[in-house]
Amino acid sequence: MSNSLLYLYQDAENNRLTMSGVTFGDFITSIDSKSPLLVSGAAFKSVKHSSRTAFHYVESHEVEQFVQSSDVERFPLNAIDIRSSHSLDILTDVEIAELLFLMHMKRGMPSPFMTTVDNEWAYFSEHNGTQATAYLKDWSSIEQVLSTLLQQKIRRELRIPTASPLTAEIIINLRQLLQEGILIDFTHTRQSMFTRQTTIPVYIAGRYEDMHVLKEDLETKKESIVLRGELIHRKKSWSLELQ
């Protein structure tokens, strides 16, 4: 799916967020994570190896370099935050099996949050920026995550340096639509040189697991994808007009 589309769907019952148009770097920034990472998915070059468990991990001070690496851009990625790399050395065989299940099946047994490594989130992506799933232990942080993801996307797509941040009211209104699957379409942004107004369509798309299908349905104007409103930038401030 085009990276100029931002899709977010919430499954609050399972603390699960499905995303498209969001890179791993975007996600890490949105949750302000500063922890080491346990990673799998490919033979990443810039990782360390735990001899006790055979897991691969990234120390906290190396996460930024890892996020920016070409490997993350090219390969599938499974990642969770961990309390410390030393916690891997004291895992029991059963705990190792639980982590292997989580990293392979992309879901927990029954929870994706492990007391053994004290993780706050889990992230799974087949292709960076195209499709990802994230589990958030603290679901109350979802508004901050939404705000950061959307404002990063706006800066990248529209390059409006003087725009004010999105208001709390806008974020709350969008947050309430997450369970319906919001799709913000930057490819069809309208910009008026006369009024200096920028308008971005906001759709309700429902639940999608295949982002290529979502893109096709949007392009063919499938009836289930409904225009719900517009994000409008006018006079250096944002508003959200819902229908």
Q: Within 13 A of 18's CA, how many CA atoms are on the CB side?
A: 19
SS3 190: strand
What lies within 8 Å, CB to CB, of 155 at 6+ separation is none
Read off the pLDDT of residues 79-123 as tens digits, 9 standing for 90 and up: 999 999 999 999 999 999 999 999 999 998 889 999 989 999 999
For the chain, counts of helices (H) and of strands (E): 7, 13
pLDDT in the model for residue 160: 67
Extract the tokens encoding 239: 């508003």
Report the sign of the C-alpha dihedral through residues 27, 32, 37, 38, in that order.
Answer: negative
Extract the tokens encoding 187: 């490819």
> Can you list the positions of beta strands (E) in the chain?
5-11, 16-20, 37-40, 48-49, 56-58, 77-81, 121-127, 131-136, 182-185, 190-192, 197-204, 226-234, 237-242
Contact (Cβ atoms closer than 8 angstroms) between residue 50 and residue 85 = yes
Splitting the chain (243 residues) into consecutive groups of 10 residues, what average pLDDT does each group show? 86 92 96 94 89 94 93 93 93 94 90 93 94 95 95 86 83 97 95 86 96 93 95 91 93
Extract the tokens encoding 24: 């791993």
DSSP assignment, residue 100? H
Distance CA 150, CA 186 (A): 11
